[in-house]
Amino acid sequence: MGTPERVANVADGTVLVTSSKKRRICANELTKVATLLGGVQGCRAKTLSCPMAEIAPSSYCAHAVDHPFHGPYHDHEYGFPVRDDRRLFERLCLEMNQAGLSWLTILKKKDGFRRAYDDFDPAIVAAYGEVERARLLADPGVIRNRLKVDAAIHNAAQILEIQEEHGSFADWLDAHQFMKNEVHQRPREKAEWVKLFKKTFRFTGGEITGEFLISTGYLPGAHDPACPVHERIAELDPPWMRAGLQP
């Protein structure tokens, strides 16, 4: 999501290309968005969350127009600061499971993920053994991929260690938001976040890490600056804004 670069493959179907992540959408969804917006060359997006704001028609904000899954996620979750460790762990797992799939697939399975992963309680997930692994790999309500299941269990254990040392996952993220030396500090760049996440967690490449940080308010780019949801998030003073980053 984030600031889009282009819309590709409108006719055959599949890809909304953005600067941070490819969100696959079907042709009729994209056609619906284009129709609502009056064409893809420039217009106003009319949604419950973005009434008549000047929204880039290829942005995620425009794509979420009246969508039963993207709409609520766009309006109430994407880019909002997250402090609860269960919800942070959930977002990390969802982004991780999205790899190779559409974000819509993950949103449709979100309730199934919460049920299957004990509402993403790190202490419970970290203790999963072979019985729980087998259960997850047989559960159609989640993504049945052994590498992703194993990574979720491993990452839960890592979060427990983080909580022991820093108090919470959120506090760990806060503690690593800046790169510091004896003279000054500066906000951690995405590549530096990716290096940290690869060192700490499994299945956290650049796209997964970047989207996790955007979606939880640690990096900018979730919403078009003209979107009213962007204004609502700004009022909450998200970490990226406190760090002095620009949208």
- Banded model confidence at residue 211, pLDDT cuts 50, 70, 90: very high
Q: Could you confirm whether 95 is annotated as catalytic?
A: yes
Classified as helix, coil or strand, 185 is: strand
Q: Give the span between the Cα atoms of 241 and 13, in whole angstroms.
A: 36
| Residue located via tokens 């299941």 | 149
The C-alpha angle with vertex 222 and arms to 19 and 69, in degrees rounded to 5, equals: 105
Domain count within the chain: 2
What six digits make up the tokens of 26?
């079907």
What residue type is 173 in one-letter code?
L
- Annotated catalytic residue within 60, 78, 90, 95: 95
102 in the same domain as 211: yes
Find the domain containing 142 and state its range.
85-215
Classified as helix, coil or strand, 56 is: coil
- How big is the chain by its Cα radius of gyration, in Å? 18
What six digits make up the tokens of 234?
């700004």
CA of 184: how far to CAs of 133, 161, 179, 241, in Å?
A: 46, 29, 9, 18
- Annotated catalytic residue within 60, 78, 103, 172: 103
The C-alpha angle with vertex 62 and arms to 26 and 59, in degrees rounded to 5, equals: 85
115 in the same domain as 69: no
Question: Quick check: is 224 in a domain?
Answer: no
CATH number at residue 159: 1.10.340.30
Residue bearing the bigger pLDDT, 232 or 181: 232
Question: What pLDDT score was predicted for residue 182?
Answer: 62
> What's the pLDDT tens digit per position in 6-40?
233 323 333 343 434 434 333 344 444 444 444 33
> What's the pLDDT tens digit per position in 138-178?
999 999 999 999 999 999 999 999 999 999 999 999 999 99
What six digits make up the tokens of 70?
């993207």
- Annotated catalytic residue within 73, 172, 193, 218: 73
Question: Quick check: is 126 in a domain?
Answer: yes
